[in-house]
Amino acid sequence: DAGITQSPRHKVTETGTPVTLRCHQTENHRYMYWYRQDPGHGLRLIHYSYGVKDTDKGEVSDGYSVSRSKTEDFLLTLESATSSQTSVYFCAISDGRLAGGGSYEQYFGPGTRLTVT
Amino acid sequence: EDQVTQSPEALRLQEGESSSLNCSYTVSGLRGLFWYRQDPGKGPEFLFTLYSAGEEKEKERLKATLTKKESFLHITAPKPEDSATYLCAVLYSSASKIIFGSGTRLSIRP
């Protein structure tokens, strides 16, 4: 199994509070991703990173920010949590190369279940 | 609009009854198509990558194929432990654009 951990695994928070989710990898992969998974929507990309301090938006980035100060850590912050952000959040990593034995195939963490009341 | 559609949404089979799951896509500049398996309460687990039309990959009872418009995941003589949600994802255009389908929930009855 790819070395990816997410913390916390479960969190309940109140509307309006800030929340930070952490993803940690031990694979030294260049790319890291944050997704949310909701019934009927599948996995949707929130933000991704292609290197330390290099990040970009995905399709559902509003209300979320990210930071990557070290190769192994990728943080997702909900600045002011809303009930619509109740979801399961997955972190993923990939090597990010199509040739030379690398690939864009992604390896996922175990997920964080976030409930905003 | 760039889109990935999986069908059926759910499929119930008897043990040993072979079938296929479909993933159709409308994107420009396909660079790769991925299949994942997801068990309840867990993250998706990588199965296959396909890069070009005509390519096939196999793993145990699963075989993935790719055409210019769609991919199939064929499951031969399935067992109850094959029950899971199967997701496909498409890498297209730039290397950072990936879209996931909504998945097919597969249930195998003993």
In this predicted model, what pLDDT tens digit does every residue of A26-50 receive, in sequence order?
999 999 999 999 987 889 999 999 8
Confidence of residue A2 (pLDDT cuts 50, 70, 90): low
Chain B residues lying within 8 Å of A98, measured CB to CB:
31-32, 51, 95
Res B89 pLDDT > 90: yes
Mean pLDDT of A97-103: 53
Considering only the beta carbons, identify the residue of A45, A104, A108 that sits closest to B95. A104
In angstroms, the CA A106 to CA A93 distance is 5
Our CA-based measurement puts residue A99 at a distance from the nearest CA of chain B, in whole angstroms, of: 11
| Per-residue pLDDT at A98 | 53
In angstroms, the CA B104 to CA B21 distance is 7
**More confident: A49 or B98:** A49
Residue-wise pLDDT tens digits, B20-75: 999 999 988 888 899 999 999 999 999 999 988 999 999 999 999 999 999 999 99
| Per-residue pLDDT at B28 | 82
Q: Which of B3, B42, B100, B105 to mutate to test the interface with A (most CBs of A within 10 A)?
A: B100
Q: Which of A105, A112, A113 to mutate to test the interface with B (most CBs of B within 10 A)?
A: A105
Among residues B104, B109, B106, the alpha carbon closest in space to that of B8 is found at: B104
In angstroms, the CA B55 to CA B49 distance is 10
Chain A residues lying within 8 Å of B46, measured CB to CB:
105-107
Res A21 pLDDT > 90: yes
**More confident: A101 or B89:** B89
Chain A residues lying within 8 Å of B45, measured CB to CB:
108
Confidence of residue A100 (pLDDT cuts 50, 70, 90): very low
Which residues of A lie closer than 8 Å to B, measured between beta carbons?
31, 35, 40-45, 48, 50, 56, 90, 92, 96, 98, 103-111
**More confident: A48 or B97:** A48
Confidence of residue A5 (pLDDT cuts 50, 70, 90): very high
**What share of chain B in percent tops pLDDT 90?**
81
Tokens of residue B37, six digits: 């398996």
Res A99 pLDDT > 50: no
**How many interface pairs between A and B have CB atoms less than 8 angstroms apart?**
55
Chain B residues lying within 8 Å of A40, measured CB to CB:
102
Mean pLDDT of B76-93: 94
Are B39 and B84 in contact, with CB atoms under 8 Å apart?
yes
Q: For residue A97, how many other CB atoms are within 10 A of its CB?
A: 13
| Per-residue pLDDT at A39 | 87
- Going from the C-alpha of B4 to that of each of A44, A79, A91, B23, B97, the distances in angstroms are 12, 31, 21, 7, 12
Pairwise CB contact (< 8 Å): B46 & A41 = no
| Per-residue pLDDT at A96 | 72
Confidence of residue B96 (pLDDT cuts 50, 70, 90): low
In angstroms, the CA B75 to CA B60 distance is 9
Res A1 pLDDT > 70: no
- Going from the C-alpha of A54 to that of each of A61, A69, A77, the distances in angstroms are 15, 9, 16
In angstroms, the CA A34 to CA A43 distance is 10
* B60 contacts: CB under 8 Å, gap ≥ 6: none
| Per-residue pLDDT at A55 | 93
Are B72 and B101 in contact, with CB atoms under 8 Å apart?
no
